[in-house]
Amino acid sequence: MTTIEHWIGGRRTAGESTRTSPVWNPATGQHQHDLLLAEPSDVDAAVQAAGAAFESWGDSSISTRTKVLFNFREIVNRRAGEIAQAITDEHGKVLSDAAGEVQRGLEVVEFACGIPTMLKGGYSDQVSTGVDSFSFRQPLGVVAGITPFNFPAMVPMWMFPVAIACGNTFVLKPSERDPSASMLLAEIWAEAGLPEGVFNVVHGDKVAVDALLDHPDVAAISFVGSTPIAKYVHERATASGKRVQALGGAKNHAIVLPDADMGFAAQHLAAAAFGSAGERCMAISATIAVGSAGDQLMEHVEAQARAVKVGPGRDPSSEMGPIVTPESRDRIVGFIDAGERQGGKVLVDGRGLVVAGHEAGFFVGPTVIDQVTTDMDCYTNEIFGPVLSVLRSDSVDEAIAMINANPYGNGTAVFTNSGGAARKFMRGVHVGMIGINVPVPVPMAYYSFGGWKNSLFGEHHIHGPEGVEFYTRGKVVTSRWPDAGTPSGASLDMPTAR
Ligand code: NAD
């Protein structure tokens, strides 16, 4: 068993950490690594290293930065398979899905390679006689990212390529459940020529997070994780004067209208509900069948759920892997039990699934609960597992009202062949990311990603143009170069244009 250390100032170090937490292989149930958990002094060492590096990185030319970013992109591309394997072995998701996550992260790196265009300021000639005005943006300094287990490569890559391209230096606190991808990314930065201290990784739990939130030399916090922690991070870090974007949990609904192609809708619903074992913040976990869509849809959904091949993520024939930890598995099973107890009809039951040869793995099979109502625990909680709850409504308006009454607003989708109904839906829902016959509408890197309501605390969505704004602050310069002999025009009145 290996012990995973931090990455501070361009090298691995244990620092002053002595506490550890286990890193599992969810497919085998094996405790495969021990992860060191940072003390506040380790966090301080990382912030100091990042602070020292900022002095030159923050002042480096745009082309120096993009050169390193292009190198980074090439090496991640080359080592994508290795990163995907590390993800599969600690998270459990199947290799093809892990490779997809690396690809979506790379798209943000590619966006960041284009940072010269994004950092172009504005210029206004002759705003007053002999006076010009222009604007530009500068980096914040040391910024930190705190990330969840479910995308150990992609979610950090939503943050640091943009932050670093803008001239900031970065401290990442990845999830303690699957830390190895972030260590590979740190190695790759070094290989790409990023100066020491620009990118640092500290592993840890609440102790490390609190040390980052309170640290006076950290200018901004990007957080992605569950809603209670997102809210806590936002409150604590804004109280200490930081800029914060904190993306939280989700309960994503799809509505299916009677005019939809039911076979198509069911295939996509199953993929969106059971892909990555439902451990995606954009997973569809609730479906509302509108009017007569219900029974026909359920026949198709049941068949799709039963057809999913569950197995270890390293097996290329597996479509869905295990759950990340035994605790998460037990929590998911608890919600299925509650749904059944409270009147839901468990149409497809993934409880107690045993995968031959992997009897100690943390598996739960695809589960469909029909006849769910909005007061049941399986609806009011984010289950974060392969469980699809199906509700019914009489009309599109009622379905939109149900979505809007839900406290989350991350993603949603409509299945229909009616442009008018789709337009009504997209304009009416209080949700940040919307799919029309697309169940997992994750925006491309050149748009920004973010939800509404309890799915986001703070003003900025992540990556894309809003990411650039988040990691920089603006200056506006008003300038005059008086010629010798020009009357100064100075006056004690409020300056106005002439
Ligand atoms: P989590 O909230 O448990 O953990 C996220 C991070 O916060 C981790 O780094 C963890 O170490 C830290 N943390 C956990 N408890 C803490 C505490 N008490 N104090 C301070 N820090 C703490 O989330 P998770 O289980 O790793 O990830 C799943 C959650 O993330 C789901 O709710 C999912 O919807 C959400 N998520 C949201 C998005 C999005 O874009 N909105 C994306 C991915 C995941």
246 CA distance to ligand 1 centroid (A)?
10
In a domain, 373, yes or no: yes
Q: How many domains does the chain contain in total?
A: 2
**Same domain, yes or no: 305 and 354:** yes
Q: CB of 457 closer than 6 A to ligand 1? A: no
**Same domain, yes or no: 236 and 341:** no
**Same domain, yes or no: 243 and 271:** no
Render pLDDT for 414-432 as a digit per residue (tens, 0 to 9).
999 999 999 999 999 999 9
**Same domain, yes or no: 322 and 350:** yes
Residue 359 lies in domain: 252-436
Q: CB of 281 closer than 6 A to ligand 1? A: yes
**Same domain, yes or no: 228 and 258:** no
113 given a catalytic annotation: no
224 CA distance to ligand 1 centroid (A)?
6
Residues 6+ apart with CB under 8 A from 491: none
Return the ligand 1 atom nearest residue 410 CA: 41
Render pLDDT for 261-285 as a digit per residue (tens, 0 to 9).
999 999 999 999 999 999 999 999 9
> Are the CB atoms for 463 and 114 separated by under 8 Å?
no
Return the ligand 1 atom nearest residue 462 CA: 40
**Same domain, yes or no: 92 and 191:** yes
Q: CB of 384 closer than 6 A to ligand 1? A: yes
Q: How far is CA 245 from CA 248, 399, 460, in A?
A: 10, 30, 6
Render pLDDT for 174-190 as a digit per residue (tens, 0 to 9).
999 999 999 999 999 99
**Same domain, yes or no: 372 and 269:** yes
- pTM for this predicted structure: 0.97
Q: How far is 361 from 315, CA to CA, in rounded Å?
A: 14
Q: Which of 119-128, 392-401, 477-486 has the lowest mean pLDDT?
A: 477-486
**Same domain, yes or no: 242 and 256:** no
- Among 43, 87, 104, 149, the mutation site with the greatest number of ligand 1 atoms within 8 A of its Cβ is 149
Residue nearest to atom 26 of ligand 1 (CA): 148
Render pLDDT for 319-345 as a digit per residue (tens, 0 to 9).
999 999 999 999 999 999 999 999 999
In a domain, 483, yes or no: no
Residue nearest to atom 38 of ligand 1 (CA): 281
CA-wise closest residue to 214 among 231, 239, 197, 232 = 239
pLDDT confidence of residue 487: 82
Q: What is the 3-state secondary structure (H, E, C) of 304-323?
A: HHHHCCECCCCCCCCCECCC
CATH number at residue 123: 3.40.605.10
Q: CB of 71 closer than 6 A to ligand 1? A: no
In a domain, 493, yes or no: no
Residue nearest to atom 18 of ligand 1 (CA): 206
In a domain, 450, yes or no: no
1 — pLDDT class (breaks 50, 70, 90): confident
